[in-house]
Amino acid sequence: AFVCWKENYNFPGLGKAQLLREERWRAVDALLAAPTAQEIRDWAKRYQARWVLVHPRSSVAWPGDVASRWVFEHDGYRVYDLNKFES
């Protein structure tokens, strides 16, 4: 599962740890900015992720019908089952 709140990856690190953090930031940014369900499915396949937890302060660029398909919500946190985005 990916946690879509970049502050969670704000850990110190140099070398490989820093590269991993930067890679995850880019991955999270790409997911949140995905404009279509197909791009979200492609992202899920690439990162072998099924579940995504989106922080209340995070916004998504997903189409409205996709963004409203969360499977659980509490206090603004939204959990999405990426398998539900299958066509």
Confidence of residue 1 (pLDDT cuts 50, 70, 90): very low
Confidence of residue 16 (pLDDT cuts 50, 70, 90): confident
Residues 6+ apart with CB under 8 A from 34: 40, 43, 60, 61, 62
**How many angstroms separate the Cα of 77 from the Cα of each of 44, 50, 53?**
19, 17, 7
Which helix (H) or strand (E) segment holds residue 39: the answer is helix 37-47
pLDDT of residue 83: 87
Residues 6+ apart with CB under 8 A from 56: 75, 76, 77, 78
Q: Is 70 in contact with 78 (CB distance < 8 Å)?
A: yes
pLDDT of residue 11: 55
Q: What is the mean pLDDT of residues 41-68?
A: 92
pTM: 0.76
Q: Average pLDDT, whole number, for the chain?
A: 83
> Which of 50, 9, 13 lies closest to 29, judged by CA?
9
Q: Residues, the chain, total?
A: 87
pLDDT per position as a tens digit, 36-48: 999 999 999 998 9
